[in-house]
Amino acid sequence: MSKLPSLKNLSYLLALHQHQNFNRAAQACNVSQSTLSSGIQNLEEQLGCQLIERDHKSFLFTGMGEEVVEQARRILTSTEELLYFAQSQGKIMEGPLRLGCIPTIAPFLVGPLTKQLQVDYPKLQLNIREDTTENLLHLLRNGELDVLVLALPVDLQGNQSYVLGRDPFKLVMHQSMADNLHEPVQYNQLPDNSIFLLEKEHCLTGHAVAACELADSTKINPFTATSLHSLVQMADARLGATFIPQMAIDRGILNGTDLVALQPTGQQASREIGLVYRPTTNRRQTFRRLAEFIAQLLPEPLLK
């Protein structure tokens, strides 16, 4: 059996991939440029294949190089997790935890979550990153985040998940608009272009349309908002109606407005909230505990 590549050299390769420059990568690794350079050459020799195409001025990762980077990232992430796990002596609710959350959940979950975690698990250092589903999944893969709170269903790309609970959608509109409507609201009672949604980057848009069975796209206004708060303001300005998740309403997003929340059409007019983690993790116990913890903060907990 040939000798295994060293983690050190693999980390050099990752740094080089990230910085695309030997000097900066070397700096990031706290070694000299020559060390990194020879480390990479070493690796190429051990793996018996070319990872980067060099020219005297610059270089380019080969296809094989890119694939090795991918796999190396997973190996290093696993090793870091092992180190962390051992060092924390199996204390599952202590130390840093990097959590990613989508923008249509974060503002309404993070407050109560951090507050309650502080009470129950004061040694847990929660680090939260808010971004789109797609970006969060990328960061999870790269080992830059440990766990995500997403709205399901979504292509988990090989990751695993716990289903935490459901979050009902409400059809929100100005009081004056709601007068002659019956619940659940039939959308054909609404004028064309009267429903406002978020930009399509937000998974909430698709989930709401599907869950609330809004088949008639002529009701949807082509102008999109960038946040739930914008949607609320637009509805309050009597521009039209919109879908708002119960979580946001519970956290008072409609306070100080003249908006009402009506039951929309749809067998199960709600989205599912899930906790997503790498299949290779060794922090399942932590995530399980966290899942139970978050579930109890949702409008309709499903877990446990």
Q: Which is nearer to a copy of itself, 88 or 132 (CB)?
A: 88
Q: Should residue 53 be labelled a site residue for a copy of itself when binding is judged by CB under 8 A? A: no
Supply the Cα-derived Rg of the chain in whole angstroms. 24
The phi, psi pair for 172, rounded to 5°, reads: -110, 130
When CB distances are held under 5 to 8 angstroms depending on the partner's kind, the choice from DNA, a copy of itself, none that residue 67 binds is a copy of itself
> Considering the rule CB under 8 A, would residue 87 count as an interface residue with a copy of itself?
yes
82 binds, among a copy of itself, DNA, none (CB under 5 to 8 A by kind): a copy of itself
Residue 282 structure tokens: 């060794």
Residue 39 interacting entry, from DNA, a copy of itself, none, C-beta within 5 to 8 Å by type: DNA
Query: Are 300 and 270 spatial neighbours (Cβ–Cβ below 8 Å)?
Result: yes
- In angstroms, the first-to-last Cα distance of the chain is 47
Among 27-35, 63-71, 159-167, 292-300, which window interacts with DNA (CB under 7 A)? 27-35
User: Rounded distance, CA 186 to CA 251, Å?
Assistant: 27
Identify the residue among 18, 28, 59, 112 touching DNA (CB under 7 A).
Answer: 59
73 Ramachandran zone, left/alpha/beta (phi>0; psi -120 to 50):
alpha
Residue 212, both tokens: 């609330």
Stretch that binds a copy of itself, among 44-52, 122-130, 161-169, 248-256 (CB under 8 A): 44-52
Q: For residue 2, state whether it binds a copy of itself (rule: CB under 8 A).
A: yes
Q: Does residue 55 touch DNA according to CB under 7 A?
A: yes
Closest to DNA by CB, 31 or 181: 31
Beta-ladder partners of 101: 130, 149
Q: Rounded to whole angstroms, how far apart are CA atoms 131 and 105?
A: 10
Is the torsion defined by CA of 295, 278, 151, 135 positive or negative?
Answer: positive
The item of a copy of itself, DNA, none sharing an interface with residue 48, based on CB under 5 to 8 Å by kind, is a copy of itself
Give residue 55's identity as a one-letter amino acid code.
D
Least distance in Å: CB of 6 to a copy of itself? 7
Residue 2: which of a copy of itself, DNA, none does it interact with, CB under 5 to 8 A by kind?
a copy of itself
Look at residue 190 and give the partner it binds from DNA, a copy of itself, none, a contact being a CB closer than 5 to 8 Å depending on partner kind. none
22 belongs to the binding site for DNA (CB under 7 A): yes
Among residues 64, 156, 181, 302, which is the contact residue for a copy of itself, using CB under 8 A? 64
Residues 242 and 252: their CA atoms lie apart, in Å, by 16
With residues binned 3-state (H G I as helix, E B as strand, rest as coil), the percentages for the chain, rounded to 5, are: 45, 25, 35
| Chosen residue from 18, 27, 42, 142 binding DNA by CB under 7 A | 42
The backbone torsions φ and ψ at residue 106, rounded to the nearest 5 degrees and listed phi first, read -45, -50
Which residue stretch of 31-39, 66-74, 134-142, 197-205 sits at the interface with a copy of itself (rule: CB under 8 A)?
A: 66-74
Render 225-240 in DSSP notation, one character per residue: ESSHHHHHHHHHTTS-
